[in-house]
Amino acid sequence: MFELLGITPQALVSQLLIGLINGSFYALLSLGLAVIFGLLNVINFTHGAQYMLGAMVAWLGLTQIGDWIGVPGFQLNYFVVLILAPLLVGLFSMLIEKTMLKRLYHLDHLYGLLLTFGLALVIEGMFRHWFGALGNSYPVPELLQGGLRAGELFLPYYRLWVVFLALIVCFATWYFIERTNLGSLLRAGTENPRLLQALGINVPLIVTLTYGAGCALAAFAGVMAAPIYQVTAVMGSNLIIVVFAVVVIGGMGSIAGAIVTGLGLGVVEGLTKVFYPQASSVSIFIIMIIVLLIKPAGLFGKAN
Amino acid sequence: MKKTLIATAVASCLMVATIPAHAQTVSDNEVRIGVLTDLSGIYSAIEGPGAVLAAQMAAKDFGGQVLGKKIVITSADTQSKADLSSSKAREMFEKDKVDMIVGNVSTASALAAMEVAEQFKRVSIVNGAASLQITNEKCTPYSIHYVYDTYALSRGTGKAVVDSGKKTWFFVTADYAFGHTLERDTTEVIVANGGKVLGGVKHPINTTDFSSFMAQAQASKAEVIGLANAGGDTIGSVKQAAELGIMGSKQTVVPLLMFTSDIQALGLKQTAGMTFTEGWYWDFNDANRKFADRFMKEFKGKAPTSVQAGVYSATMQYLKAVEATKTDNSDAVMKQLKSVEINDGLFKGKIRADGKFEHDMYLLEVKSPGESKGPNDVAKVAKVIAAKDATLPLSQSKCKLVTN
């Protein structure tokens, strides 16, 4: 059978794994978007820029910060920024929510979309101006260099680490929102914020924290992506459209949907890259069209 | 009788209209040069603000004026987009009264600007764009291709790699005209020199993840993985080839279009030992180093790319031609540019009838981190490729200026 397809079983397995790795990025990014949309009803187009900010913080922390604070040689290593970057980007995003996004909640979705899209352009433009269009290279942390080799198959340890970490974070987020008390408060807030407020819950604070957390997830994905992709100002804008397609296929606002479709579509895209590579950038959108025709609310979405 | 009168009247009117153009040596009392380049987009590191600086340096070195008229340098941002390039070129010619445009990175943008320049009968010198079309099918009487083209890249790198004993190739190609042409031309060179292409994969432009394609290239067992792509796609390919352990294995990754700025962005650790073809390199000889030193002082310590050096040299040659012909009339200047031997220390050669500047090319080898003495010290010249080997023979050209 494999001979018919013109590919060895080993090669197919390695391609499936590569697809799964890309899928875990899609899952992590679409998860953040789904959380923000599901709980805030905001279509967050700044997500790609926040992903880029995460990667930028990682790069700045490794190469620039020493000079900035006047202690050459001082570095923030990968594992430190893996925690620090999401925190910083989360705080920055909460500032955006408090000062700008908050004013648009009573308006149509479209206004939030326009604001976040504009912000993304501004942030990316500034970083391109400061750090150039070609971007910079971020090395794979020493601890995770090298890889497993089994015949033709070569799997870098770093990629395995990415899948492992992404799955843990995805599961933890899902568990937190769907299975804990605090998560149920969040969900109640989207159903009926007034009633929740009447029960003495500070709803605006919850909303701000949720937005911050969703964006922190993007930054977390950004730090994980830094050693794999080139760290450039536009790294997020290349990815964001695909991630939106993932969210639409999974069902807007569905957290489990975002995770499962993210992983699944990574694999589908990976296989397209083997059998008909020219179509690899459109395969996800073809699936999106088919899904929307058959099930307009998405695979895991609830029809209103 | 009446008809003859009208004809004479029309003819004399025409003469009156044309006389000033010949009598007046320099239009608008200034020689205006427009740097039409990508100031903020994907190719801004290759040409961009550095090209504007290079043109300004040339104007200053020329003494700030030519034939007693002031030299004015203006610039506009195309963001490497063809529509913007076309409208900005028009604006430069109509509103700013620019006599010559220089820069023109990315083939689609360059072709768009060349078309407008031909309409206005003004000179356009292409530096950053790669395609052979510029002086082949799409050549115009007013355009010059200055630094390099895809023909030189495929001949230069392709032949050198096959000659070094690496005969089997696998291509990772960008799925649009530029990538296809580069792959086709390089394949010709490989086959002609006894090599073989085992396979290839075509990827969409602006792909994020190349690991899948690199794994396919790895599985092909080809000795050489040829990258027929550009910019961010090349950077992504190299980065993920390194990640999959291809660097340092029996396989070699060979980027067919790469600039020293791409190497700096990737870092030497991942690129050491790679070979690529360039039209100019700052650390090749004293004249280049001297120019680079001056450039670096004004450009945050960054060495000029081949394309930026090309903009300096092209501006200089244009001004010399204006001085020699005592006019900024494009036809006269083009005739002059195509008739002289150019040797300004940076570039040496001759501009042919089809507008191609035929000069030596350089096969560069990326240094290892240990060999490099600083952020600009990224490569050494492994081989000088003679001009005639790096340029499409005029007899094979499809340019309308030479076929008729």
Give per-residue pLDDT as tens, A113-149: 999 999 999 999 999 888 877 788 898 998 888 888 7
Asked if the model's pLDDT at residue A4 lies above 70, the reply is no
CATH class of the domain at A12-294: mainly alpha
pLDDT above 90 coverage of chain B, percent: 73
Å from A12 to nearest chain B CA? 10
Q: From CA B243, how far away is CA A162, in angstroms rounded?
A: 14
- Chain B neighbors of A133, CB-CB under 8 A: 40-45
Tell me which chain A residue has its CA closest to the CA of residue B41: A133
**Strands, E assignment, B38-149:** 65-66, 69-77, 100-103, 123-126, 143-145
Task: Among B211, B264, B302, pick the best mutation site for testing chain A contact (most A Cβ within 10 A).
Answer: B211
**Number of domains, chain B:** 2
Check CB contact under 8 Å for B261 and A280.
Answer: no
Helix, strand, or coil here: B69? strand
**B148 class by beta-carbon count within 10 Å (0-12 exposed, 13-18 middle, 19+ buried):** buried
Q: Are residues B236 and B181 both part of a single domain?
A: yes
Check CB contact under 8 Å for A152 and B43.
Answer: no
- Interface size, chain A vs chain B, as Cβ–Cβ contacts under 8 Å: 109
Check CB contact under 8 Å for A137 and B265.
Answer: yes
Q: Are residues B61 and B142 both part of a single domain?
A: yes
Check CB contact under 8 Å for A270 and B212.
Answer: yes
Q: Are residues B171 and B217 both part of a single domain?
A: yes
Q: Are residues B298 and B272 both part of a single domain?
A: no
- Chain A neighbors of B218, CB-CB under 8 A: 152, 154
pLDDT value of position B8: 52
Q: Where are the domains of chain A?
A: 12-294
Check CB contact under 8 Å for B203 and A278.
Answer: yes
- At B81-96, the pLDDT tens digits run 899 999 999 999 999 9
Check CB contact under 8 Å for A154 and B204.
Answer: no
Q: Are residues B268 and B298 both part of a single domain?
A: no
Distances (CA, A) of B140 to A146, B77, B106, B137, B387: 52, 23, 17, 9, 22
* Interface membership of A139 toward B (CB under 8 Å): yes
Asked if the model's pLDDT at residue B19 lies above 80, the reply is no
Range of the domain at B239: 151-277+362-384
Residue B36 pairs in a beta bridge with B76, B103
Max mean pLDDT among A9-18, A175-184, B351-360 falls in B351-360
Asked if the model's pLDDT at residue B78 lies above 80, the reply is yes
Task: Among B79, B208, B270, pick the best mutation site for testing chain A contact (most A Cβ within 10 A).
Answer: B208
Q: Are residues B250 and B380 both part of a single domain?
A: yes
- Chain A neighbors of B236, CB-CB under 8 A: 229-230
pTM for the predicted model, two decimal places: 0.83
- Chain B neighbors of A158, CB-CB under 8 A: 243
pLDDT value of position B24: 53
Q: From CA B363, how far away is CA B358, in angstroms rounded?
A: 16
Q: Are residues B36 and B185 both part of a single domain?
A: no
Residue B169 forms part of a structural domain: yes
Q: From CA A67, how far away is CA B147, in angstroms rounded?
A: 37
Q: Which residues of chain B are at the A interface, by a Cβ-Cβ cutoff of 8 Å?
A: 40-45, 175, 201-204, 206-209, 211-213, 215-216, 218-219, 231-232, 235-236, 239-240, 243-245, 261-262, 264-267, 269-270
pLDDT value of position B206: 82
Option in B202, B212, B235 nearest A230 (CB): B235
pLDDT value of position B393: 93
pLDDT value of position B21: 44
Residue whose token pair is 């391609």: A15
* Interface membership of A275 toward B (CB under 8 Å): no
- At B104-121, the pLDDT tens digits run 998 889 999 999 999 999
pLDDT above 90 coverage of chain A, percent: 49
Average pLDDT for residues A284-289, to the nearest whole number?
A: 94
- Chain B neighbors of A239, CB-CB under 8 A: 208
Residue whose token pair is 């326009």: A114
Q: Are residues B271 and B304 both part of a single domain?
A: no
Q: From CA B264, how far away is CA A68, in angstroms rounded?
A: 21
Å from B160 to nearest chain A CA? 27
Check CB contact under 8 Å for B204 and A18.
Answer: no
Tell me which chain A residue has its CA closest to the CA of residue B268: A137
- Chain A neighbors of B79, CB-CB under 8 A: none
Check CB contact under 8 Å for B265 and A134.
Answer: yes
What single-letter DSSP state applies at residue A279? Answer: G
**DSSP for A102-163, written as a single string:** GGGTTS-HHHHHHHHHHHHHHHHHHHHHHH-SS-B--PPPGGG-SEEEETTEEEEHHHHHHH
* Interface membership of A19 toward B (CB under 8 Å): yes
Residue B3 forms part of a structural domain: no
Distances (CA, A) of B304 to B46, B223, B277: 9, 33, 16
pLDDT above 70 coverage of chain A, percent: 96
Å from A58 to nearest chain B CA? 16
* Interface membership of A44 toward B (CB under 8 Å): no
Task: Among A273, A281, A283, A285, pick the best mutation site for testing chain B contact (most B Cβ within 10 A).
Answer: A273
Residue B137 forms part of a structural domain: yes
pLDDT value of position A201: 86
Residue B24 forms part of a structural domain: no
**DSSP for B376-392, written as a single string:** T--EEEEEEEPHHHHS-
Q: Are residues B369 and B320 both part of a single domain?
A: no
* Interface membership of A236 toward B (CB under 8 Å): no
Q: Are residues B190 and B143 both part of a single domain?
A: no
Beta-carbon contacts of B105 under 8 Å, excluding residues fewer than 6 positions away, are B37, B38, B43, B46, B47, B48, B78, B80, B127, B128, B129, B307
* Interface membership of A14 toward B (CB under 8 Å): yes
- At B29-60, the pLDDT tens digits run 899 999 999 998 878 889 999 999 999 999 99
Residue B81 forms part of a structural domain: yes
pLDDT value of position B228: 94
ipTM for this prediction: 0.84
* Interface membership of A135 toward B (CB under 8 Å): yes
pLDDT value of position B403: 86
Residue B22 forms part of a structural domain: no
What CATH number is given to the structural domain containing B77?
3.40.50.2300
Q: Are residues B76 and B206 both part of a single domain?
A: no
Element (DSSP H or E) covering residue B36: strand B30-37
Q: Are residues B130 and B157 both part of a single domain?
A: no
Helix, strand, or coil here: B330? helix
Residue B15 forms part of a structural domain: no
Residue B19 forms part of a structural domain: no
